[in-house]
Structure 1
Amino acid sequence: MTRKNEGIDMDLIKEYNEKELTIKVKDKIDTTTAPDFENEIIDEIGNFNSLIIDFTELEYISSAGLRVLFTVKGKLNPQNIPFIIKVNDINKDIFEMAGLDKILNIIRN
């Protein structure tokens, strides 16, 4: 599934492996695309028992995108659903500089 908003692209692909959902996001998550990103995840809650967000091909994430991850974490924690974020070197640095690697389950792919 591809989302296009005001000239900014966010490619988002959902893949199920039984009850594990992987969401691969490419290009950018910013204030324009973050609401779509959030809705794509929230719409699937109840359909999976573990979630992997694959940012290994993500070029940019804004604070709006990071906020979505906190919202998702808050919705999944009461249900004890594992939530992993795969990142590349650039994104890993962003998460580490913001201290988010201590709050979210971040792995280098």
Structure 2
Amino acid sequence: MANQFEMIGTVLVACLQGKLNSTNAEQTEAQILQHINRGTNQLVIDLGELDYISSAGLRVVLVTAKRLKQSAGQMALCGISNPIREVFEISGFFNILDVAESREQALSRFNQTA
């Protein structure tokens, strides 16, 4: 899995690809937290190319959201496919996370508060 990160203005877009599970969750979390530790506090996680997410992967999303909240940051998810959507619905994540349909929609949420 090769996660891709790009800055769009002041927002970091993390595009997660393939599977996010116990095999790579720790590495993915470290990559994201490294950006946050460097001062990034606006994050879009694009799940459009993610095929599978396990409980370890869900933990990465939660840890990231919690960390950003602590630093008065903001996070939005986008590009959620139906199989991933089901996992998020079952786990109750849609009640606690900001979810947008598209990357553009997610990015527009930051521009309103910047």
TM-score (normalizing by structure 1): 0.84
CA contact (8 A) 1:89 1:108 kept: no
Match of 2:68 among 53, 72, 76: 76
3-state SS of paired residue (2:3)? strand
CA contact (8 A) 2:6 2:12 kept: yes
Structure 1 runs of 4+ with >4 Å offset:
none
1:62 aligns with 2:70: no
Cα displacement string for residues 72-107 of structure 1 (whole angstroms, at most 9, x for unaligned residues): 111110222110111122211211122110011122
Q: CA deviation at 1:18?
A: 2.4
Match of 2:3 among 12, 20, 38: 12
**Higher RCO, 1 or 2 (CA under 8 Å, sep at least 6)?**
2
Residues matched between the structures, number = 100
Same amino acid, percent of matched pairs: 30
1:37 aligns with 2:28: yes
Q: Which structure 1 residue ranges, 5 or more long, are not aligned? A: 1-9
The structure carrying a bigger helix percent of its residues is 2
CA contact (8 A) 2:19 2:50 kept: yes
The structure carrying a bigger strand percent of its residues is 1
Q: Which structure 2 residue ranges, 5 or more long, are not aligned? A: 103-114
* Counterpart-to-counterpart distance in 1, 2:62 and 2:90: 16
Compute the RMSD of aligned alpha carbons.
Answer: 1.3
| More displaced stretch, 84-93 vs 17-26 | 84-93
Aligned to 1:96: 89
TM-score (normalizing by structure 2): 0.81
Cα displacement string for residues 47-94 of structure 1 (whole angstroms, at most 9, x for unaligned residues): 323100000110000000101111111111022211011112221121
* Counterpart-to-counterpart distance in 1, 2:42 and 2:64: 12
